[in-house]
Structure 1
Amino acid sequence: MIKIALYGNFEELECWKECFRLKEYVRKDILIQLPEIERFELYSQLLRAARSTTANIAEGWGRHHRKDSIRFMIIARGSVAEVLDHTIETRHCNYISS
């Protein structure tokens, strides 16, 4: 068994730290600007995608096999892309500014 993580904890990973900052930005700066009509659709999707970024990095870190760890990092990257897509949508709908 090869452990991919060279750190003591996933919270020390730079990718996790950046995704945590992204999640906080989404929560504090974007979600509060969405109108009530989007509270059950876009709000929920954006929040879940942002949470998924750090959760998948943490899960990948906890895996005992390199291939599993890499797979979860790729999933996290997909979640970051999903956050980007949802923020493009919020901008397109004029819920947020550039």
Structure 2
Amino acid sequence: MGSVKSYKELIVWQKAIKLVKEIYLLTNSFPEDEKYGLVSQMRRSVVSVPSNIAEGWGRMSKKSYILFLRTARGSLFELETQIIISAELNFFTNTKNIESLIIEISKMLNALIKSLNERE
């Protein structure tokens, strides 16, 4: 896909990995009774973002890649909703860094999807 040799070179993938770390650290402080509820769901959602970027890249088809990038974006918005729910439940209060990272990744995914759609 252009001059990029690996999905690992994509800044959007790198930022998604950073988001995974942030969410894992954040959810460590959640109540124990949320371990198999919200914590599990948030972790699955966040892991899905870089995973779908990588899987789409590996399909070596522009159409498939776009589909997986859209799935990554969907998982990102799912995570955003879970963060809002967690904040409403007072599991944490400061979400600014995570919210900023989500917005940044969302914009990057949108730009990448648009760029791929414009090719050929």
Alignment size in residue pairs: 94
Q: 1:77 to 1:5 in 2, by over 3 A?
A: farther
1:11 aligns with 2:41: no
Structure 2, gaps ≥5 residues long: 95-120
8 Å CA contact 1:5–1:61 kept in 2: the answer is no
How far apart are the structure 2 equivalents of 1:69 and 1:56? 9
Partner of 2:114: none
Question: In 1, Cα distance between the equivalents of 2:35 and 2:18?
Answer: 22
Q: CA RMSD in A?
A: 1.1
* Structure 1 residue aligned with 2:97: none
Following the alignment from structure 2 to structure 1, what is the Cα–Cα distance between the partners of residues 2 and 78? Answer: 25
Alignment correspondent of 2:87: 91
What stretches of structure 1 move > 3 A for 4+ residues in a row? Answer: none
Normalising by structure 1, report the TM-score.
0.90
CA distance in 2, matches of 1:51, 1:73: 13
Q: Could you list the per-position Cα deviations for residues 15-45 of structure 1 after superposition, in whole angstroms to 9, with x for gaps in the alignment?
A: 10111111110011x2112101111110100
* 6-15 or 84-93, which deviates more: 6-15
Give TM-score scaled by structure 2 length. 0.75
Describe how 1:1-98 pairs up with structure 2 within 5 A: 4=1, 6-28=3-25, 30-98=26-94
Aligned partner of residue 60 in structure 2, secondary structure: coil
% of aligned pairs identical?
Answer: 32
Q: Distance in 1 between matches of 2:3 and 2:73?
A: 20
User: Which letter maps to 1:39?
Assistant: K
User: Any unmatched runs of 5+ in structure 1?
Assistant: none
Question: Partners of 2:81 and 2:2 in 1: how far apart?
Answer: 29
Higher RCO, 1 vs 2 (CA within 8 Å, ≥6 residues apart):
1
- Once the 2 structures are TM-superposed, how far is the Cα of residue 5 of structure 1 from its aligned partner? 5.3
